[in-house]
Amino acid sequence: MTIEPLLALMAALRDPRTGCPWDIAQTSASIAPYAVEEAHEVVDAIRRDDVEDLRDELGDLLFQVVFHARMAEEAGRFTFADVVGAIVAKMIRRHPHVFAPDGSPVPPGSVSRDPEAVARQWTAIKAAERAERSRGSQAAAGPLDGIAHALPALARAEKLSARAATYGFDWTDPADVIAKVREETDEVADALAHGTKADLAEEVGDLLFSVANLARHLGIDPEYSLNLGNMKFERRFTAMAARLAVDGTRLEDASLETMETAWTAVKRAEGK
């Protein structure tokens, strides 16, 4: 099936006379949170390797794109076709090792396809695009401009540190980043002993930023890694509660010592 039936459906939902009252009442601002939610659900389906759910969640995410594009078209700003045209042009521009400027294929062997060289080229092209967008504006472009504030904080921390690294502001050895994490942990402990709540919040933020930086140096997505940790904790906590229940103990009535004993048993069982 092509995209046309979905575009027609969206137009029908937004029809002022016969459409859905809820859909008609929406604005890009009012439905913006749903785009974030649907993107997270796509990622969740990928992590669970649920192919059917991934298909459905990709559809939900595409619906958000079509929804925003329809409202923009109604306001005379741009159309869905403009969205497609813009991303095609951007991908051609950012892949000069694959496409010529007119979109035709680059002959094999005519340019480098080394992955590291391609990554550096991508970064340079994006930097040139940011500089081009800033021309003519009253404020000069900052070195960290363009990193979305709406990103999850951990993901944004990784992107901020990655951007800073393109200017040479970075460690060369992951061991140095580990030392920085330890330093920040000590500063959290010092704030706990002598600081205010605001001091603690700032120092914990520094610690989390350093951990995100460490993940980047190790080639690990910090959001993915934290989600693995979340799932592990959820799995073990649920198993701990089940183990207590077998012994006739409700989680609500268990002492910390009893829970820790059951937790250790769960970890040991997982190890086997």
Q: Is 132 exposed, middle or buried (0-12, 13-18, 19+ CB in 10 A)?
A: exposed
| pLDDT band of 136, cuts 50, 70, 90 | low
Average pLDDT over residues 78-90: 96
| pLDDT band of 111, cuts 50, 70, 90 | confident
Between 20 and 143, name the one with better pLDDT: 20
Poorest-pLDDT segment among 25-29, 34-38, 92-96, 117-121 = 117-121
| pLDDT band of 110, cuts 50, 70, 90 | confident
Average pLDDT over residues 23-41: 94
Distance between alpha carbon 70 and the CA centroid of its chain, in Å? 25
Q: Which residues pair with 105 in a beta bridge?
A: 99
pLDDT of residue 259: 96
CA distances from 57 to 26, 33, 35, 80, 169 (A): 21, 15, 11, 20, 38
Mutual orientation of helices 51-74 and 28-47 as an angle, nearest 10°? Answer: 160
pLDDT tens digit string along 186-228?
999 999 999 999 999 999 999 999 999 999 999 999 988 998 9
Task: State the average pLDDT for the chain.
Answer: 92
| pLDDT band of 141, cuts 50, 70, 90 | low
- What's the one-letter identity of residue 66? V
- What's the one-letter identity of residue 32? A
How far is it, in rounded angstroms, from Cα 204 to Cα 198? Answer: 10
pLDDT of residue 114: 83
End-to-end CA distance of the chain: 48
pLDDT tens digit string along 95-109?
999 999 999 999 887
Q: Is 25 exposed, middle or buried (0-12, 13-18, 19+ CB in 10 A)?
A: exposed
> What would the DSSP string read from start to end of 199-257?
HHHHHHHHHHHHHHHHHHHTT--HHHHHHHHHHHHHHHHHHHHHHHHHTT--GGG--HH
Domain 4-134 is found in CATH 1.10.287.1080: yes
Half-sphere exposure of 85 (CA within 13 A, CB side): 6
Q: What are phi and psi of 97, to 5 degrees?
A: -80, -5
Q: In this structure, how many other beta carbons lie within 10 angstroms of the beta carbon of residue 184?
A: 19
Angle at 54 between CA 238 and CA 92, to 5 degrees: 135
CB 69 within 8 A of CB 79: yes
CB 266 within 8 A of CB 240: yes
Which of 135, 214, 131 has its CA nearest to residue 179? 214
> How much is the pTM?
0.67
- DSSP letter at 105? B
The SS3 of residue 78 is coil
Between 211 and 133, name the one with better pLDDT: 211
Over 90: is that where the pLDDT of 68 sits?
A: yes
How far is it, in rounded angstroms, from Cα 70 to Cα 7? Answer: 8
In CATH terms, 153-220 corresponds, of 1.10.287.1080, 3.40.50.920, 2.40.30.10, 3.40.50.2300, to: 1.10.287.1080
How far is it, in rounded angstroms, from Cα 163 to Cα 159? Answer: 6
